[in-house]
Every structure is written in C-alpha cells, then in structure tokens.
Amino acid sequence: MLAPAITNALTIDVEDYFQVSAFAPYIRRDEWDSRECRVERNVNHILDLLARRSTQATFFTLGWVAERYPQVVRRIVAEGHELASHGYGHQRASDLDPRAFGEDVTRAKRILEDIAGAPVLGYRAPSFSIGAGNLWAFDVLARAGYRYSSSIYPIAHDHYGMPDSPRFAYRVGSGLLEVPVTTVRLLNRNLPSSGGGYFRLLPYAMSRWLIGRVNAADREPAVFYFHPWEIDPGQPRVAGIDAKTRFRHYVNIPRMEAKLQQLLGDFRWGRMDHIFLPRLPAAGAQA
C-alpha cells in the first residue's frame, strides 16, 4: 500500500522589497515610508492564487506592514490562512539584546492580534537570525506567548545558518517548538531545499526532487518559504547595490510565479500550525 501523501507547510514572509536585510546598507529605515510600497498588491495577488488552488498557508507578517495595510491582514485570516509574526521592523534577532528582542516580538504579536482578532502563535526571525549565539531568544518567545518558531536554517551560509542543528521539528528547553526550514542531507552536508533565492536559482525539477526526497525518504513535511516581492518583476530597482546582492535579490524573479504554480500543483500544502502544533503536548501534559 502506498503511504499517504504528506502535507507540506507553505509559508510567506510578508515584507516589502526595500525591507530585506541585504538592502540594509543601502536603504535607511527612515526612508521606508518614502519608498513605493508594493506589499499590499503582491499579498493580494498571492491570496488570489491560493484561493484558486484551495490552498492554505502561513503568512509570517511584519508588524510594520500590518499597521499600514490592516485590510490585508484581515483578508489573510478571513480566507482561512494562518497569521504569524515576522517581528515588527525586520530587525535581525542576532542584532538585538534580549530586552529589545522581547519588545519587538511582543509589539508585533499585539499589533497582529489586535488587527486580525485572532491568536498569533508562530514566529519567524528575519533572515533566520536565531542561531548558536542567541538561543536565549526561544525563552523570550515562549514568555511572549508564542508556541512555535521557524527561525533556524540548518545550513552554512554567509548571513545565517546553524548547520549542526536538527533538520526537523524539535522541542527547545522553553517548551517552544522549533520548525526549521527544510534541507536535504547529501554527502554529509545539508542542502537548502525550502525556497527563497535557491528556488528561483535552481531548475524547477531539482527543487521538486529535493522536496520529494524529504517526503519520501525522511517521511517528514517540508517547510517552503517565499516573499511577496519575489513574484513582482515590476518592483523598483535599488540603485548602487553590490553585484552579489543584486544577483541574489533579482535572479529569475520573472520566472518565479510560474514555478510557484507548478509547486502548488505537485505537492499538498497547508498551514504551519495545523501541521506541526499537534506535535506539542496539550497544556499541562507531561513532555
């Protein structure tokens, strides 16, 4: 008998093109309000796409975005998706001390819940910026009322990563569940297989094989992520950026939506909370 199809987690990091960490040296935070915002248009387009596919997802949303586009936040929840937190202002967790981090994640959670009228249980650190040097962040998240995080990328990367961490969902000391984005283990190393720039760069067949291998060989759900700006070929070009940043940000953006459509058709997708929170014991139960 064939094993039942695994439901994978589809996640969207809701931020605008000018808020990505790689642009921080080129765009000051006090310029954000003067930039052309395209996040509302792009998220609505994603919601339309998911509605046509009858697919649910998790939207890790910046508090900064929610304050300016509350109608988008309400639509996310009204259409059956999970609303989760990406922090307030896209500051890397690794750049904050525990107090500042706590203020950021608490502020974002309050804003999102007040607008949506729904609980916010999940958090993803900007640029996967929880790692070996700031594992205290899990305790802060638990105290703020979060139940899970998806903030560690178990790969070696020049901007983030914790390659020795577990590849699949695991409990941390605070009782929080950490759900790493997906990697495939090959040749004694973890290979990225969960979206972002790698999905835009690699041939689609390779990405499909990587996710399929996790489902078939590991019998685990994959966690895939992308950003609204990745489906937006018309976004303004940021001038003066270095060649590596330009390549990483803009590579194959015109092809992204078609590849995403293929991905939605080739696998079963759902919300993070529905897939992973049942792995946590009920309140008061023994771990």
Query: What is the domain partition of the chain in residue ranges?
Result: 7-279
Tokens for 112, please give them.
């999102």
What is the four-CA torsion angle of 228, 233, 235, 236, rounded to 10 degrees?
A: 150
Task: Name, in order, each residue with C-beta under 8 angstroms of 158's C-beta and a sequence gap of 6 or more.
Answer: none
CATH number of the domain located at residue range(s) 7-279 in this protein: 3.20.20.370
* End-to-end Cα spacing for the chain: 33
The string of pLDDT tens digits covering residues 115-134 is 999 999 999 999 999 998 99
pLDDT in tens, 171-228: 998 899 999 999 998 877 888 888 989 899 999 999 999 999 999 999 999 999 999 9
Handedness of CA 229, 235, 238, 241 (dihedral sign): positive
pLDDT in tens, 33-79: 999 999 999 999 999 999 999 999 999 999 999 999 999 999 999 99
pLDDT-derived band at 111, boundaries 50, 70, 90: very high
The token duo for 173 is 């000391």
